[in-house]
Amino acid sequence: AAFASEIAMACGIEMLCPAYRLAPEHPFPAGLNDVAKVLSALTDTTRLPIILSGDSAGGGLAASLAFLATAGGYALTGLVLLSPWLDLTVTSSCYEDNAASDPLFSKQSASEAANLYLQGVDPRDPLVSPLVAPLRGLPPTFIAFGSGEVLLDDSRRLARALEQAGVAFRLLEVAGMDHVAITRNRSLPGADTVFGAITGFVDELVGAI
C-alpha cells in the first residue's frame, strides 16, 4: 500500500490494489479469475489509460492478465513488472547460481509455492508461466530486478521474448538490489533507482495519450 501510494502521488495517477483469492485454499486459476473480473469492470466503466503492475508472484499474475487482455482485444497502456516470477517450472540455473545472493527466495520455497498454487496444473500452461505465452500485442513493458536474484533469468528471458515479438520494453538490472526491494522499503539499496525509473516510464506513457 505504501509503495502504491508513493507511485500515485509521484505520477498524479489513481492506483487500485485489488484483493484476490490466494493458494493453497484457492489454487490456480482463482486469483487470475479475480483480477480479470476487476480489469473487466474497469474497462467497462472508464476510458482512462490502464497500466498493470505486479511484483514477484504478482508480477507473473500481472503478465498473465496482460496476455488475457491482449487476447481479448483490449489494448492496455502499459505493464510494470518488478522481479516477476514468470516460469513456475522452477528449472532455471539461477536458483543454484544465485542461491547465496538471494536470501528471500530459494529453489525449495519456489517449488513449494508452485505446488501449492498449481495443485496438479501443468506449470507450462501459458496462464501459469507467461514466458511461454504469445507476447505479440502486449503493451510497452517495464521490467526491474536485482542482479543477484534467483528470478533473474525470468526477467532476462521475458525481455528476449518481448524483443522477438516486437513489443517495446525497458529492462533495468540493478546490482546489489534484493528481491522486490522497492515494494518493501525505499531506503533499501536500488529501490530509489527503480522508483525513479517507474515514475519516468508511467509519466511517459500517460503523457503520450
Hey, what's the cell of 194?
A: 527503480
Q: In sequence order, which residues have a C-beta less than 8 Å from that of residue 169 and are 6 or more positions away?
A: 140, 141, 142, 143, 159, 162, 163
> Which is catalytic among the residues 64, 92, 149, 155?
149
> Which is catalytic among the residues 56, 83, 92, 155?
56
Hey, what's the cell of 150?
A: 534467483
Q: In sequence order, which residues have a C-beta less than 8 Å from that of residue 52 and are 6 or more positions away?
A: 39, 62, 65, 66, 69, 76, 78, 79, 80
Q: Is 56 a catalytic residue?
A: yes
- Residue keyed to cell 508511467: 202
Q: Which residues are catalytic?
A: 56, 149
